[in-house]
A and B are shown apart, each in its own frame.
Chain A
């Protein structure tokens, strides 16, 4: 049986979904529409039922493109997504509003189950629900009570799956039919009539014994306070970023080291040859390049899930909305933009919570401008190379100041570009907030864990396969060259450097460098040299610009290969010395303040991340947006780097 899971937001719908399906869930697409579909399996009496988690909505009428899937799937029995039955989660503490949606589904003549959830919260609000009367109003529905957060009600729901009643045509509100999806005046009439009907029966089903819960209100006074509100939010951010940057470094170094040893081990223990090279230099580092981001992504979504579950996140949205709006963004853009400081991929994925299409698009388009953690190795190398380790004004470290400046440049340009995009992206829909602020709750461990698992899995599958594929392609381009050119150049270099009396190890490094120069990628680097010359770069930088399309940090490793030094992964001192000594044909150094700064600026802006592009494609369901994004960021990077070079030289 195909069962639709429906309900208002904040009714505990996903808690019920997780409770019923556990880890037996996967994310797919609704056929024919562009919305993610979460499907879980429930097995009852050896029969598998498919539970489809629809977006949380307040009615069948959509308020965003994503929500249209509810109307299109349920209001048309010819739809491929049309379910055999529906489970509607109803918040017992807010019957009136929840009954609007429930009764719409009921009147659509689907076999319907009402899960009366959060009965404990209702009691706290001194509301009691008369289930008997409720059953009289909806005689053809199955009604069960649950308290999903406390894990209560699972058996009752599962048992009720076999009790769905065949529909005989009974309607709660028989006068006015559900309106067409685009007929707003008719929707108003229908909604009004339905609320009138609900109001006329509400006194029978809901007994309120005064007075309301004020705990949320007291906490809110602090959390949305003009001073404390922002101070607490800043503190929360500091804690999260401390975890993401400082503590995640421990597992990340471990992963980095393990994959490097694995590559070495494979190179040594497998027979020499192209297959060994492919595995040890292409595939293993490629997988390593994916796995290394997992600790940060998992930690970040762990915190975001907790903030979301507690109800705090909607208060952040509340205090940030007015600040973000002039930029064409939404209070809900805060989380995606902050996440992008770790990695744009989970950041862009978390923009899904923004129901307004335009605000969501702008958020996605500017998120990669926030300096992500893959840029740090590039910045660190270049800063050490061209910025003197001086003190400014007696106490500030110049190198640290430049690093901060790069982050600031990324953030400010993200906000600035948002303002520009606001004028370019057209939409008929008017931006709106209309956000329910749920009462504060203790986060549920299972819900948090499932969110983390889901995001990590999405990243590994979606971004991972692209990073891996590009790593392999780049490996091939760096391993092969036209004809015998590479081999010949390598042999010549070996003889030359051996004669000069270098050690075996040094000769190997020189040979690798000469071979890379004569590989396809070396030729590509030389081909683009005229284009990047105005920014002060040579073909060696060109090669690294191309290779770092897989992921930005690959820049450092490529530079190490080109300059024939061991990538020590730590201080890069040998590499920095070699780069410093690099001269142009006219004898001037390649890496000056001007070219170094220009390169840093280039990395601030350039869309050097195929995985992000792939995720943008997946999130926007079209190639248009990632292409625009790559285009505008590329132009911006080129111009800004060029101007930087001219100004500083």
Chain B
């Protein structure tokens, strides 16, 4: 089921499906968030925002409204 990255629970692994067109899209792509990329949600700041995700071995923090722009699928076959 496709949902936005901001809804994903800590510890879950997802695949990026689509990034919504916006002025931030290029920036998100530059950070390595491209279609087909596997991400793992690591943890969140105390108030639930921002969130930290693992992108290919580096840690990126995103505000929830930035994560809202990213649609992901839960990775059904976690390695």
Contacts and interface: CB of A to CB of B under 8 A. Distances in A.
B49 A434 contact: no
Interface string B9-46: 00000000000010111111111101000000011011
A432 B29 contact: no
A291 interface: no
Interface string A69-111: 0000000000000000000000001101100100000000000
Contact of B52 (A93, A96, A212, A318): A318
A429 B55 CA distance: 25
A195 B36 CA distance: 11
Interface string A217-236: 10011001110011000000
Interface string A299-327: 00000000000000010011101110100
B7 interface: no
Nearest to A433: B63
B43 A97 contact: no
Nearest to B36: A199
B66 A434 contact: yes
Contact of A184 (B23, B34, B47, B59): B23
Interface in A486-542: none
Interface in B42-79: 42-43, 45-50, 52, 54-63, 66
B42 A187 contact: no
A407 interface: no
Interface residues of B, number: 32
Contacts of B31: 58, 97, 434, 436
Nearest to A321: B50
A554 B24 CA distance: 49
A314 B62 CA distance: 12
A435 interface: yes
A96 B32 contact: yes
A201 to B, nearest CB: 15
A430 B24 contact: yes
Interface in A37-64: 58-59, 61, 63
B47 A322 contact: yes
A502 B34 CA distance: 85
Nearest to B51: A318
Given A212-B54, A224-B43, A319-B45, A63 B27 contact: yes
Contact of B45 (A127, A216, A321, A439): A321
A436 B24 CA distance: 15
22 contacts: A58-B27, A61-B26, A93-B57, A184-B23, A187-B26, A188-B25, A212-B54, A220-B52, A224-B46, A224-B52, A318-B45, A318-B61, A319-B45, A321-B63, A322-B46, A322-B47, A323-B47, A434-B60, A434-B61, A434-B62, A434-B66, A437-B60
